[in-house]
Amino acid sequence: MAKLLIVDDSTMLRDMLNYALNEGGYTDVTEAVDGVDGLAKANSTNFDLIITDVNMPNMDGLTLIGELRKIPQYSKKPILVLTTERSDEMKTKGKAAGATGWIVKPFVPDQLLKAVNIVLSR
């Protein structure tokens, strides 16, 4: 089973994500409260997929993605952005940082699971 890391400063959103992922069969999910926490957890465990918010304290999601892409084990691993940001400019910045995909909040659990299944099957 795939190991997933979700990075978001909202406890409620992490709970909703965890629930949706668990319902979809992804039960090995680790949570991080911001980019600094996410980077530390990514350095201590090898995750198959990372889902991150953009706007967080301490380290934002785009900076986190850039830092993860410098780590050999995450250079090609899928990283999905789950955010309220919907502008083309932000999506371009996400792609430039190394994001695999972009999902706008509020998310639909079935669409999230479809995206997770697609990127994990590549």
Q: Please state, in angstroms and rounded to a whole number, the distance separating the CA atoms of residues 45 and 43.
A: 6
DSSP secondary-structure letter at 107?
A: P
- Domains of the chain, with CATH numbers? 2-119 (3.40.50.2300)
Per-residue confidence (pLDDT) for residue 24, from 0 to 100: 95
pLDDT of residue 122: 86
Residues whose CB is less than 8 angstroms from the CB of residue 58 and which lie 6 or more positions away in sequence, other chains included: 34, 35, 36, 37
pLDDT score at 98: 97
Q: In the chain, which stretches have pLDDT less than 70?
A: none
- Of the candidates 68, 3, 13, the one whose C-alpha atom is nearest the C-alpha of residue 35 is 68
Angle between helices 88-97 and 61-69 (to 10 degrees): 20
pLDDT of 18 reads 96
Q: How far, in Å, CA of 45 to CA of 37, rounded?
A: 12
Q: What pLDDT sits at residue 26?
A: 97
Residue 85 tokens read as 């940001």
Measured CA to CA, the distance from residue 44 to residue 113 in angstroms comes to 25
pLDDT tens digits for range 17-28 = 999 999 999 999
